[in-house]
Structure 1
Amino acid sequence: MRTTRMLAAALLTGAALLGTAAPALADTPSPSATKDKDKGAPTVAGTTFRTATPVEQGQKATADASSGDYLYWVFPADAGQRPAVDATVTLPSTGRQQATTWRIDVYDGLRRRQPCMYGAQSRAAAADATTVALSCTLRPVRAWADSWSTDPLPGSYYVRLTAVGLPATERGLPVKAELRATTKETGGSQAVDGSLSTPLGAGGPKVEPEDGWSSGWWTDRWIWTGAGGVLAALAGVGGYALTRGRGRPAHVPRNA
């Protein structure tokens, strides 16, 4: 019975420790928090990298523009996050005569274009379409990488939205763009040793996560490692108690 109680306590302790890692992976903003962010969201977009409009994670940025314009936004992404960009373009109801292709590209702080792992990065809108939706999900941001690598690193991420191969007859038509950049925590599975001294693109438009740059100093790997150590120690104590109990001689009555 004593051994059973010890093993049960070990399992309960491990479950409690591992459960503390869940909030870091389920960091989903509530609808009310999203609405609050949208109140102060930008309503214009830049036209170059240098004039890119800063936008916070989770904000819905909007901009009135013309077909053929290059629209730029910039947002921050820290180590352990997986950035995703969603854009919707509202097209003019008149004046369009053929399909047009829209595209979003995401660049890191060194102006390196980052490939999209998921999403419709480029999409053609039929002549009678009223909207076109685009999306791009990047690879997880790493705290540090080799100089030859193109891995996403902490810092500024630039989004460029434009129509490609636009006919001359449709240039200048009014459009409205909406963009939202979000990130999800990937946890300790993407953690690496080392960190950048300065986030990439720190000299450009001022963008920074709400909680500041972590530079990869903390991951939930610490929790899993600590929990594993505690479980191993408790399992060792339980095994020792179980082995010791089996090795004791049976009780012999005095009058036997």
Structure 2
Amino acid sequence: MRITRVFGAALLALGLAAGPAAADSSPSPSASADDSAPTRAGTSFRTAAEVRQGQQATASASTGDYLYWSFPADVGQRPTVEATVKLPAAHGAQTWQIDVYDGLRRRQACQYGAATRTAGQGASTVDLACVLRTVRGWSEPWGNDPLPGTYYVRLTALDLGSADLGKPVGAEVRVDSKDIGGAAAADGSLGKPLVPGIAVKSESDGGGSRTAVLSSFGSDDGWSSGWWSDRWVWTAIGGVLAALAGIGGYALTRGAGRPSRVPPNV
């Protein structure tokens, strides 16, 4: 009975501990569509339009332009960038590509997804996708691992005929992410997220001209501290299970190797 009570209490404690961990590992909710989503794209890293995860950014441009957006990604997230290009009614075959760069402007490889696609003559749209690797809290200086901070998306046409240059196109870009949790945790953290000081939006100064301001991606978005993850919970659960296994084994084998006591002969 005592062993049963011990195991019952332990299972109850494990259930209470695993609840928050399961909640943390669930996909992060997407932000609902609102009027704050950008309706134009930047033409360089410095003027990239700021889009938050869950928003769908739109832009009107001309074939041959470079279109830039930026978004924040934190530790444990696996971002997915999706883009749709609406092509003009008449056009030749053309190839489109999306590239994703981190805060140090290092190009990040796509884990999977079609980041480059060719639209045949007469196609109305072309869809692109890039699923990045999970953002880590720390990396070796020579590594190219994705780190927390600002990421840049560049959309452009790579291969098109001279007759298609300058034709109007429409672009839609959406960024979502899946929260991987402690499975991707690393031992270490950055001192600061990789957020450039150059702004992705502008505001008017007193004279009426528009100047760059600091990026709005920052501590208000709740950058993780880098040391806590749900793997601490699972490590504690493993320790409790190991202790229970030791207690249970001792209780089951207690006295098995001792000789039975026989009353002395009188």
Q: Same fold (TM over 0.5)?
A: yes
CA distance in 2, matches of 1:67, 1:215: 42
Q: Among residues 147, 156, 165, which one is paired with 2:150 in the alignment?
A: 156
Out of 78, 86, 105, the residue aligned to residue 90 of structure 1 is: 86
Q: Distance in 2 between matches of 1:79 and 1:174?
A: 38
The residue aligned with 2:160 is 166
- 1:43, 1:116 → 2: CA distance? 26
- State the aligned residue count: 246
Q: Which moved more, 1:19-28 or 1:177-186?
A: 19-28
Shift of 1:241: 3.1
Task: Give yes or no for contact 1:109–1:156 (8 Å, CA) kept in 2.
Answer: yes
TM-score (structure 2 length as normaliser):
0.84
Q: Which stretches in structure 2 are left out of the alignment for 5+ residues?
A: 200-214, 261-266
* Partner in structure 1 of residue 230 of structure 2: 220
Instruction: Report SS of the residue matched to 1:4.
Output: helix
Mapped to 1, the partners of 2:221 and 2:255 lie a distance apart of 52
Q: Which residue of 2 aligns with 1:254?
A: none
After superposition, what is the alpha-carbon deviation per residue over 1:111-139, rounded to whole angstroms, capped at 9, x for unaligned? 11111111000001111111110000111
Equivalent residue, structure 1, for 2:64: 68
Percentage identity across aligned positions? 61
TM-aligned CA distance change 1:105 to 1:201, over 3 Å: same
Shift of 1:248: 9.4
Question: Whole-Å Cα distance in 2 between the matches of residues 234 and 202 of structure 1?
Answer: 50
Give the Cα–Cα distance (whole angstroms) in 2 for the partners of residues 248 and 10 of structure 1.
Answer: 30
Equivalent residue in structure 2 for 1:241, among 248, 251, 257: 251
The aligned residue for residue 11 of structure 1 is 11
Alignment of 1:7-86 (within 5 A): 7-29=7-29, 33-35=31-33, 38-86=34-82
2:138 paired with 1:144: yes
Q: 1:99 aligns with which of 88, 93, 99?
A: 93
Distance in 1 of aligned mates of 2:258 and 2:22 = 43
In the superposition, relative to structure 1, how do residues 194 and 10 fare at CA in structure 2: closer, same or farther (>3 Å)? same
Specify the alignment match of 1:253 in structure 2: none
Is this contact kept in 1: 2:195–2:218, CA < 8 A? no
Whole-Å separation in 2 of the counterparts to 1:137 and 1:89: 18
Q: 1:40 to 1:165 in 2, by over 3 A?
A: same
Which one has the bigger helix percentage?
Answer: 1
The question of whether the paired residues in 2 share the 8 Å contact of 1:101 and 1:122 is answered with yes
SS of equivalent residue, structure 1 residue 34: coil
State whether residues 3 and 242 of structure 1, in contact with CA within 8 Å, keep that contact through their aligned partners in structure 2.
no
Give the whole-Å Cα distance in 2 for the aligned partners of 1:171 and 1:25.
46
- Asked if the contact 1:10–1:235 (Cα under 8 Å) also holds between the matched residues in 2, the reply is no
Whether the 8 Å CA contact 2:70–2:150 is kept in 1: the answer is: yes
Structure 1 25/210 Cα, relative in aligned 2: closer, same or farther at 3 Å? farther
SS at match of 2:79: strand
Distance apart, 1:7 and its partner CA: 2.5
Which ranges of structure 1 fall in alignment gaps of 5 or more residues? 251-256
Q: What TM-score, normalized to structure 1?
A: 0.87
SS at match of 1:49: coil
C-alpha distance in 2, partners of 1:175/1:209? 36
- d(CA) in 2 for partners of 1:170 and 1:76? 34
What's the secondary structure of 1:20's corresponding residue?
helix
Residue 123 of structure 1 aligns to a residue whose secondary structure is strand
The answer for the alignment partner of 1:232 in structure 2 is 242
Greater RCO between the two (CA within 8 Å, min separation 6)?
1
Spell out, residue by residue over 1:194-229, the C-alpha distance to the aligned partner (whole angstroms, 9 max, x if none). Answer: 211121133133124764211412111111112222
Q: What amino acid is the match of 2:51? A: V
Provide the alpha-carbon RMSD of the alignment.
Answer: 2.3
Q: For the residues of structure 2 that align with 1:195 and 1:90, how far apart are their CA atoms?
A: 41
For 2:174, the aligned partner's letter is: R
